[in-house]
Structure 1
Amino acid sequence: MRLFIRYGKSLIRYLVIVLLLMVQIICIFGLAYFLRHYAIYVYLAIEILSLLILVPLVADERNAAYKLYWMSVILTLPIVGHIMFHLWGKDKVNKSEHARIQRTVNRANIQQDFQKPFVVEMHRDNPEKWKISNYLYRQGYPLYNHTKMKYFPLGEFAFEDMIAEMKKASRYIFMSFFTIADGQIFDAIRDIVQEKVREGIEVRVLYDDAGSVFQIADATVEKLKAVGVRILRFNPVERSYHRLFLNYRTHQKIVVIDGETGYTGGINASDRYANINSPYGHWKDCAVKLYGSAVWSMLLTFLSMWSASENVEEDYQKYKSKREFTDGGYCQPFADGPSNNPENEGLDIFRHMIQEANREVFITTPYLIIDDTMRDTLCLAAKSGIDVRIITPGIPDKKRAKLLTEWHYGPLLKSGVRIFEYEPGFMHAKIIMNEFSAVVGTINMDFRSFFLHYENAVWTPQKELVDELRADFMETLKSCREMNYVDWVRRPLKIKFQQYILQVFRCQF
Structure 2
Amino acid sequence: MVFMAVHILVVAVAAAHILLRPHRQPESRAAWLVLVLTLPYLGALAYLLVGQTNVGRKRVERLRAAFLGLPRPQDAPGWHAVPRTPDRHEALFAVGRSISGYLPVGGNSARLMEDSNAAIDAMVKDIDAAGDHVHLLFYIWLADRNGTKVAEAVQRAARRGVACRVLVDDLGSRDLVRGPLWRDMAAAGAEVRRALVIGNPLLRALTGRIDLRNHRKIAVIDNRITYCGSQNCADPEFLPKRKFAPWVDVLMRFEGPVVRQNQHLFASDWMGNGGGDISDLLRRPMEAVKPGFTAQVIATGPTFRNSAMPEMFESLIYAAKRSLFITTPYYVPDAAMQAALCACANRGVDTTLVFPARNDDFAVAAASRSYYSDLLHAGVKIFEYEAGLLHAKTLTMDGEITLIGSANMDRRSFDLNYENNILVEDADLTATLRARQETYLTQCLRILPEEVGSWGIGRRLWNNALAIVGPLL
Query: Same fold by TM-score, threshold 0.5 exceeded?
Result: yes
2:358 to 386, 395, 400: 395
Three-state SS of the structure 2 residue aligned to 1:402 is helix
In the TM superposition, residue 154 of structure 1 has moved relative to its aligned partner by 2.0
Q: Which deviates more, 106-115 or 187-196?
A: 106-115
Question: Structure 2: how far apart are the matches of 1:337 and 1:109?
Answer: 20
User: Which residue number in structure 2 is paired with residue 175 of structure 1?
Assistant: 136
In the alignment, the residues of structure 1 paired with residue 55 and residue 119 of structure 2 have an alpha-carbon distance, to the nearest angstrom, of 40
Decide whether aligned partners of structure 1 residues 251 and 51 sit closer, same or farther in structure 2, where only a CA change above 3 A counts: closer
* Contact 2:53–2:302 (CA under 8 A) maintained in structure 1: no
Residue aligning to 1:225:
186
Q: Is contact 2:352–2:381 with CA below 8 Å preserved after alignment?
A: yes
Separation (CA, whole Å) in 1 of partners of 2:147 and 2:120: 10
Amino acid in structure 2 at the alignment position of 1:502: L
CA separation of 1:121/1:55 partners in 2, compared to 1, >3 Å: closer, same or farther? closer
Query: How many residues align structurally?
Result: 466
Q: Percent identity?
A: 23
SS at match of 2:303: helix
Please say if 1:471 is aligned against 2:432. no
Task: Kindly provide the CA deviation profile for residues 209-242 of structure 1, in whole angstroms up to 9, marking residues without a partner as x.
Answer: 1111235642221222122111111111225233
Partner of 1:71: 33
Which of 367, 374, 378 in structure 2 is aligned with 1:411? 374
1:333-363 deviations in whole A, cap 9, x for unaligned? Answer: 221111114251x222211111111101100
Identify which of 326, 344, 349 aligns with 2:290.
Answer: 326
- Kindly provide the amino acid, as one letter, of the partner of residue 122 in structure 1: P
The aligned counterpart of 2:20 is 56
CA contact (8 A) 1:404 1:502 kept: yes
Shift of 1:41: 3.1
1:134 pairs with 2:97? no
Aligned partners of 1:118 and 1:143 also within 8 Å: no
> Which AA in structure 1 matches 2:134?
I
Name stretches of at least 5 consecutive residues in structure 2 with no aligned partner: none
Answer yes or no: is 1:269 the counterpart of 2:233: yes
| Residue in 2 that maps onto 1:501 | 465
Match of 1:23 in 2: none
> Partners of 1:162 and 1:508 in 2: how far apart?
39
CA distance in 2, matches of 1:61, 1:131: 24
1:192 pairs, out of 142, 145, 153, with 153
CA shift for structure 1 position 418? 0.9
Structure 2 SS opposite 1:300: helix
Q: Secondary structure at the match of 2:70?
A: helix
Higher relative contact order (CA 8 A, sep 6+): 2
CA separation of 1:46/1:298 partners in 2, compared to 1, >3 Å: closer, same or farther? closer
Shift of 1:396: 1.7
Q: Cα 1:84–1:364, aligned 2, differ >3 Å: closer, same or farther?
A: closer
Letter in 2 for 1:249: R
Asked if 1 retains the 8 angstrom alpha-carbon contact of 2:82 and 2:257, the reply is no
CA distance in 2, matches of 1:369, 1:162: 32
Q: Distance in 2 between the 1:386 and 1:325 partners?
A: 36
* Counterpart secondary structure, 1:310: coil
Q: Distance in 2 between matches of 1:338 and 1:156?
A: 32
Aligned to 1:89: 51
**Helix, strand or coil for the counterpart of 1:460?**
strand
Change (3 A) 1:174 1:153: same
**Which residue of the partner structure matches residue 257 of structure 1?**
221
* Pairwise CA distance, 1:40: 4.2
Whole-angstrom CA distance in 2 between matches of 1:167 and 1:340: 34
Distance apart, 1:476 and its partner CA: 1.8
Residues 361-390 of structure 1: CA deviation (Å, up to 9, x unaligned): 100001111111100011111111111100
C-alpha displacement of 1:471: 1.4
Q: Which of the two has higher C-alpha Rg?
A: 1
User: 1-side partners of 2:207 and 2:260: how far apart?
Assistant: 34
Letter in 1 for 2:118: F
| Alpha-carbon shift at residue 498 of structure 1 (Å) | 2.4
In the superposition, the TM-score normalised over structure 1's length comes to 0.84
AA aligned to 2:165 is R
For residues 477 and 86 of structure 1, what CA distance do their matches in structure 2 show?
A: 43
1:38 aligns with 2:2: yes
Across the aligned residues of Structure 1 and Structure 2, the Cα RMSD in angstroms comes to: 2.7
What residue number does 1:335 align with? 299
1:372 aligns to 2:335 (yes or no):
yes
In the alignment, the residues of structure 2 paired with residue 433 and residue 415 of structure 1 have an alpha-carbon distance, to the nearest angstrom, of 20
Length-normalised TM-score, structure 2: 0.90
Partner of 1:29: none
